[in-house]
Structure 1
Amino acid sequence: MQNGSARKAEHAAAMPAATPAGPEPLAVLRERFLRDGYLVVRGAVPQDLCRKAVAAFEGEVKPSRSYFLRHEFGTYDRHVFTEHGYMKYPIMNVQDLSRTRFGSFVRHGLDVLTSRRIREVMAALLGEEGRMVHTMFFDGNQQTWAHRDSHYIDSERVGSMIGVWVAAEDIDPGAGRFFVYAGSHRVATPPELGLDRIDPNSRAYKDAMADWAKRSGCELVAPELKRGDMILWSSLTVHGSLPTTEPRCSRKSFTAHYIPQSHGYLWGRHVRGAQREIAVNGVRIARHADQGSWATQTKAAVRELLHARAPWLLAGALALRRGARRLASGTARRPR
């Protein structure tokens, strides 16, 4: 993102994109969401709950030497910290973490993502109760490129999924604000760009999407978000995060993706997602793996050892595994 875009985002943050203090009628929120493709709700999650979740992260997760499934690479890795001590790569699928080691973080994190106001707004936007299919936790900012979630994960009825990003602390403007291109959910990308076909993790996708978004005529909006505020967006809305200009600042936040409870969901529009579930505060939450199992942690440790001692062997093994998965299930893609 260029400096000009960042300035445009700061200007756009002053636009009347957010709801005022106090709950607005759900019908009004739904109308705004359908029009803009995103919605900001102030004070959606109790601040004390956000503080508890952050304290649990600092006390249980951050000091841990365990391997966590990472959003960035789709692999299990130990923490990598920025020069100012923040976890660089977000954790994927909080619901899959070990309750024995990280029980407080899992409990408070899922309470944040299933809090009453989120459930109410999601039901109003989805037209029925929501089902959570994917979660993340961020500490630092990895600067996520402009993308559509639908190119990674979506409801089986494409375009029906809704993402929610909850600020677990006051997000400094220089920490890498979340941005959306308002109205981009209603604008089709040119077929010749192939954005619905090419690998959305590739450089070709990133460059083509960023260039198209800037020329789309949609306004880039990066609203100010305080602890407990949330932003919701359509799976077809182009979004990402701005570069970090203040590396001393963190951006602790939780993300979840909801689909209508009656829908199935797809990964990469090819593979149906996991069907195992738990329930938290009445919300059905998909489980994908047991991240804390002995087998998962051992495999991650072996992979780390191979990476350090025999990277050529690891690269070959990973290539064979990717090929086998493509043959078995199509081109599955990591959600963002």
Structure 2
Amino acid sequence: MLTSNGYVLDEAANRLGPLVAVPDWEVRDRVTLRERLRRDGYLYLRGLLDREEVLAFRRYYFERTGGTVDRAGFRKVLFGEIVPGPEYAAFCTQPALREWFAWFLGGETFLHKRKIIRQTAPGENGIGTATQAHYDLVYLREGTDRVLSAWIPLGDCPVELGGLVYLEGSHHRVLREEAEGRLKRPAASITADLPGLADEYDARWLAADYAAGDVVIHTAHTVHAALDNVDPTGTLRLSTDIRYQRADAPTDPRWQSDWHDRDGL
């Protein structure tokens, strides 16, 4: 049973389906990938990153945070050491990421400094725990709408660990509503009620069993959310989401400082 913020997803065939990975024969075809992104709103790239590098960063993260026994100590390590640290910066700019975006976007790239790490433990549920349904543009209004997000599971992430799910075809409706001027201001999530939103859009939530090394690229208009972590072995779900765009496009100045959960964005 899949849940998000305590809501049980409808697993009927018209409400839940698989997130489809880019097939091997398309991975180096930029024209086809761009068309796939326009059509689907996401690119699920299996094994884009070196698995061992991903697992090494996961070990580094838990080595730094594992000894913190209180919330204040954890926050001090996360926001004072890991987020602004050279290890995280190197991970987010590793050649496999930086060069892929330069190739796909066809020019010099820019990585937003505000990069987010999310940790979710089994049993953490209820409203506000899992990332609610939203599309990224509502938080990035002051730059280009062609910014691309990369969601990276930091370790193997089967569905029971609470990975991201995407609302199929949602970016087409969002693009229409944006063109009509129905902008969400101030920035806000759409809802925590994923099954209700699927009914409203008459669409499926798309899920996958992710592996360390996988990356999902999605547009700023694609509706997505996170599942609850219900892993029976007690494994923590760890992930990061970062944003690349072309360097010659406008950037949102609010996203050029290190992430902090009290930064108001």
Query: TM-score, normalising length from structure 1?
Result: 0.61
State the alpha-carbon separation in 2 of the partners of residues 137 and 9 from structure 1.
32
Instruction: Determine which of 57, 60, 65 is the counterpart of 1:56.
Output: 60
State the alpha-carbon separation in 1 of the partners of residues 199 and 212 from structure 2.
29
Q: Show the counterpart of 1:12.
A: 17
State the alpha-carbon separation in 2 of the partners of residues 7 and 246 from structure 1.
22
State the alpha-carbon separation in 2 of the partners of residues 237 and 37 from structure 1.
6
State the alpha-carbon separation in 1 of the partners of residues 177 and 141 from structure 2.
20
State the alpha-carbon separation in 1 of the partners of residues 109 and 13 from structure 2.
34
Identical aligned residues as a percent = 18
Shift of 1:138: 2.2
State the alpha-carbon separation in 2 of the partners of residues 199 and 225 from structure 1.
29
Cα gap change, 1:207 to 1:226, in 2 (>3 Å):
closer
Instruction: Determine which of 84, 99, 107 is the counterpart of 2:86.
Output: 107
Contact 1:172 1:251 in 2 (8 A): no
Map of 1:44-193 to 2, 5 A cutoff?
A: 44-64=48-68, 78-79=73-74, 98=80, 101-102=81-82, 106-133=85-112, 134-140=114-120, 142-154=129-141, 156-157=143-144, 159-188=145-174
Q: Show the counterpart of 2:257.
A: 287
Q: What secondary structure, in the 3-state scheme, does the structure 2 residue paired with 1:5 have?
A: coil
Q: Show the counterpart of 1:41.
A: 45
Map of 1:227-246 to 2, 5 A cutoff?
A: 227-246=212-231
Q: Show the counterpart of 1:221.
A: 206
State the alpha-carbon separation in 2 of the partners of residues 66 and 131 from structure 1.
36
Shift of 1:217: 3.2
Superposed CA RMSD: 3.7
Q: What secondary structure, in the 3-state scheme, does the structure 2 residue paired with 1:273 have?
A: helix
Aligned length: 246
Q: What secondary structure, in the 3-state scheme, does the structure 2 residue paired with 1:49 have?
A: helix
Q: Which amino acid aligns with 2:97?
A: I
Where in structure 1 are there 5+ consecutive unaligned residues?
A: 68-76, 81-90, 92-96, 267-271, 275-285, 292-299, 301-331
Query: TM-score, normalising length from structure 2?
Result: 0.75
Shift of 1:26: 2.7
Note the alpha carbon deviations across 1:89-132, whole angstroms, 9 max, x for none: xx6xxxxx55xx559x9333333322323223323443433211
Q: Which has the higher contact order (CA 8 A, sep 6+)?
A: 2
Contact 2:9 2:195 in 1 (8 A): no
State the alpha-carbon separation in 2 of the partners of residues 168 and 62 from structure 1.
16
State the alpha-carbon separation in 2 of the partners of residues 218 and 102 from structure 1.
38
State the alpha-carbon separation in 1 of the partners of residues 236 and 98 from structure 2.
27
Note the alpha carbon deviations across 1:159-198, whole angstroms, 9 max, x for none: 2111101122111221112111132222137699x66125
State the alpha-carbon separation in 2 of the partners of residues 246 and 117 from structure 1.
30
Note the alpha carbon deviations across 1:62-108, whole angstroms, 9 max, x for none: 324798xxxxxxxxx5438xxxxxxxxxx6xxxxx55xx559x9333
State the alpha-carbon separation in 1 of the partners of residues 14 and 152 from structure 2.
19
Runs of 4+ in 1 over 3 A off after TM superposition: 1-11, 15-24, 64-67, 77-80, 105-108, 124-127, 188-192, 207-214, 286-289
State the alpha-carbon separation in 1 of the partners of residues 26 and 47 from structure 2.
8
State the alpha-carbon separation in 2 of the partners of residues 131 and 168 from structure 1.
22
